[in-house]
Amino acid sequence: RDLGVPVVAVERDPDAKNIARAKDRRLPVVIGDGSDHRTLRGLSIRTARALATVTSDDVENIAVAVAARRLHGGLHIALRAGDGDATSEVQSLFHIGVVRDVYRIAGSALGAVVVGYDVREAFPYQGTMYLVGETGEIEPFVLPRGND
């Protein structure tokens, strides 16, 4: 939204705690099943620029992405996945877009903090984890080796 791109959130549970957070940020929320074709059509998925499916349920994220891909073959998709094996399998089987292993990202950031880095963000790029420091500097993260 900060870039001027319209955004809408879809949530299956009308009592989910993140609905209030989204509404506080003036983000429109549709109550429905993001993997249901009718819901996706109602959200004009065929004309959407991109889709981010970021629930805490890996299987749900995959279902949403596959359903959206069926309706819009060229859709840019970012998908949250839980572990390296699932991430690799999803990318190779479904060809559905960018799949990120959030546990690896968070684990790398936490590991960097533990060994003394001042980390604000972390992101993977072409097999390397990068850290973003307090002043915005970006550097690749390589865990220092201990004395063997």
Largest Cα separation within the chain, whole Å, is: 59
Between CA 40 and CA 60 the distance in angstroms is: 14
Mean pLDDT for all residues in the chain = 83
**How would residue 96 be classed by pLDDT, with cut points 50, 70 and 90?**
low
Compute and round to an integer the Cα radius of gyration of the chain. Answer: 18
Is pTM beyond 0.85 here? no
Between CA 50 and CA 72 the distance in angstroms is: 10
In angstroms, the Cα distances linking 10 to 2, 30, 110, 145 are 19, 5, 30, 44
Encode pLDDT of 62-91 as tens digits. Answer: 889 889 989 998 888 887 776 666 666 766
Between CA 12 and CA 84 the distance in angstroms is: 27
- The CA-based dihedral angle spanning residues 50, 52, 58, 59, taken in that order and rounded to the nearest 10 degrees: -40
Residue where the block lists tokens 């959200």? 43
